[in-house]
A = this chain, B = another copy of it.
Amino acid sequence: MSCNPLNLIMNPSSISIVGASNNFRTMGTIQFLNLANCGYAGALLPVHPNEKEVLGKKAYGHISDLPYAPDLAVLVVPTRLVPEMMEDFGRLGTRHMVVITAGFKETGDEGLELEQKIGEIADTYGIRFLGPNCLGIINSHLPLNITVGPLQALNGKLSLASQSGTYIAQTVYYLHKNGIVLNKAISVGNEANIDIVDCLEYLAADETTKAIGLYIEGIRNAGRFLDVARQVSRVKPIVAQYVGGTEAGARSGSSHTGAMAGPDYIYDGLFEQAGIIRVDTIEEVYKIGWALATQPPLKGRKIAILTNSGGPGSGIATTCNTNGLEVPEFSERIQQEVGKYLPGHASARNPVDLTFHINMDALTEKIPEILFASDEIDGIIIHGIMDTGFIGLLYPYLKNYLDMTQEDFNKMSEISMEPLLKMPGTYDKPLLISSFFGREDHCIRVFHENGIPTFDSPEKTAKAMAALYRHHLITQRSSNDHEYMKRPIVSEAQSILSQARSRTIDEYNAKKLLSLYGVQTTAESLARTLDQALDLARAIGYPVAAKVNSPEIAHKTEKGMVYLNIADDDDLKKAFLSITASNNTSVLISEMLKGEREFMAGISRHRGFPPCIMFGMGGVFTEVLNDFSIRMAPLSLYDAQEMIDSISAKEIIGPYRNMKPVNRDSLAHILIALSQIALDFPDIQEIDLNPIIIDTGRPVVADALIIMK
């Protein structure tokens, strides 16, 4: 990945900026103000037509006046000037740029044209650039800050790539208040040249980046995103928010960066398959990202909760449970050890509740030591550690009774937490802190300085712990190798498709194609005449099904063109005559399967995405039950198995009541076959297998529809 353009963009030794002046009311000036004061050690070369100096740095009248080609050029200029200036930098020899300027694709056709134009200019000169319509970059390790918000701390561990500039440029102080320090942060803007997948690759390779946060309005190339993310996520946690999955979210995104959104369920599948931890808020991108970046992995589900109060303990406990974590009652031994430090009426069962009669030493050292050392638990959450934040509030009252300045009073109140700070590292277990106090409390500041995440609500702390476990599970995933099928069958399948006389392939031929890929379908044949139908039915054995077999007739059930459970010759005769009365068509005579469980599977295509494979509850209520999972082709066997396990009603796949367990391998094979078919035939728009009936454990496709593009 040494050719990733971000290597240089994030680590330039010289930067030229056009659009900064000495007028602090312009954005370019504020960005340069931050750049010039952030501690950046490289050369700064502002360009300005009139000013001799900009913020005390020598300014150059024109790009062509620059003494050498800077590693990085930053443009914060009127839209119409961008193409020319990009050419100027190109001629000079600069190969990396950040285009802050907006007014391109996000504004409509004219802007799109201009964006294409600067793309062409960049290609001509071999320039790689971020933006346009972005808000800059941060590298707190260099340091380097080309955003409107001043850096509050250096050497962070969480890196971000964002399709909203605000989340890079405008939240630095918010993050500081929450103890979060960014490492690298990249506002990608319209992604005309460098996209969010480039960022992901760059951050994956960046050693000081311990976790990656993404804010996404729409992914352009989901296939490449998936390929990269699924490799990265096995070693480095990725947490992402996607906002384009609703009508209003999609509209907002397209106004904003011209992002191409897709339905929420597609992104659910994409993120699941990629091993990305999906969250619903930007707060979670930051805070859960920070927990992932700073804490040892949570290697099991068992969480200890230690508090000075029952309410937060209950909130943490119940949120752990609802997010798949356990809060096991401690063994007698641990309860006894912990009990030594508790007042008489407090509980040592887990949550441990010290009650308000606080022994701070017990809360910050003695009990944590017991819990960290115990093999009964995998991670620890503590609520209630506090000193100056709480006690400082009382000072205005206390000063009437004490002879002490607020400073001395606070100093006296500060507690030591050295032993606790070391425990996560020593025992290789995560520690998360819940507190209603912020940096006004000395303990919180100490936690922040030592990279222990703090959360201002009990429930958020528990949700972050659950994300740590989710990451652990992702790292444990078995091989993700794609299961490509042997393909002597392609030409035979092609000939079936070629014979089709309409966009829709009839059921008989659709099933024949599936059979070629090893998918089990109902035993059946076509009858042109009643005699053929009777012969077929007798051969298959009653009861049988009779259905119209015409690509032109959709919704055949609703149209009365499907007869099920036909018991004998008489009934078959009636069915055949009824179907053929109004249609000059052949009739499909199929075996009639008995099975209480019905599933569905299919292929759908979405712009910008690899073929999507679906699996879910089938039958007549498929849409209403809305219980399905989705993954992108090519599927690995692991993907297919996970799809099966992802539906809510998965219990019925096992031995359910008196039913035989579903043959999971056969079910997974159907999904892998669909993946292969989707890759083999890009002209197939959609496949719908519904129902797949479970016949004493064996999944059999009872109806199939293929629609060509």
Contact = CB atoms under 8 A, between A and B. Distances in A.
A165 B458 CA distance: 15
Interface stretch (A63-71, A167-175, A533-541): A167-175
Given A111-B345, A397-B34, A353 B315 contact: no
Contacts of A248: 317-318, 320-321, 326-327, 350-351
A256 B311 contact: yes
A347 interface: yes
Contacts of A389: 173
A459 B397 contact: no
B30 A394 contact: yes
Given A280-B459, A396-B150, A329 B251 contact: yes
Interface string A141-157: 00000001110000000
Contact of A164 (B107, B245, B311): B311
A436 interface: yes
Given A623-B651, A626-B648, 19 more contacts: A33-B398, A37-B400, A56-B401, A149-B393, A165-B356, A166-B310, A173-B393, A243-B318, A244-B318, A255-B349, A255-B351, A255-B353, A281-B460, A282-B457, A567-B567, A596-B620, A621-B652, A624-B648, A624-B656
6 contacts: A37-B397, A102-B355, A150-B396, A164-B310, A166-B308, A625-B625
A457 B456 CA distance: 13
Given A165-B311, A394-B33, A318 B107 contact: no
Given A243-B318, A457-B281, A649 B625 contact: yes
Interface of A: 22, 24, 27, 30, 33-34, 36-37, 55-56, 79, 102-104, 106-107, 111, 133, 135, 148-150, 162-167, 169-171, 173-174, 177, 215, 217, 241, 243-249, 251-253, 255-257, 280-283, 305, 308-315, 317-322, 326-327, 329, 344-345, 347, 349-351, 353, 355-357, 389-390, 393-394, 396-398, 400-401, 436-438, 440, 456-460, 557-558, 567, 596, 620-621, 623-626, 648-649, 651-652, 656-658
A107 B345 contact: yes
A107 B282 contact: no
A118 to B, nearest CB: 15
A252 B310 contact: yes
Contacts of A329: 251
A24 B173 contact: no
Contacts of A27: 356-357
A23 to B, nearest CB: 11
A396 B107 CA distance: 36
B321 A247 contact: yes
A377 to B, nearest CB: 13
The count of identical subunits is 2
A311 B162 contact: yes
A390 B147 CA distance: 13
A196 to B, nearest CB: 13
Contact of A241 (B150, B282, B315, B596): B315
Contacts of A652: 621, 624
A169 to B, nearest CB: 8
Contact of A314 (B103, B252, B356): B252
Given A353-B256, A656-B624, A24 B398 contact: yes
A492 B590 CA distance: 53
B309 A165 contact: yes
A356 B648 contact: no
A649 B624 contact: yes
B460 A310 contact: no
Contact of A256 (B313, B326, B620): B313
Contact of A345 (B79, B166, B401, B557): B79
Nearest to A26: B357
A661 B145 CA distance: 63
B246 A318 contact: yes
Given A248-B320, A345-B79, A401-B55, A166 B281 contact: no
Contact of A310 (B257, B309, B314, B456): B257
Contact of A309 (B106, B166, B318): B166
A107 B623 CA distance: 51
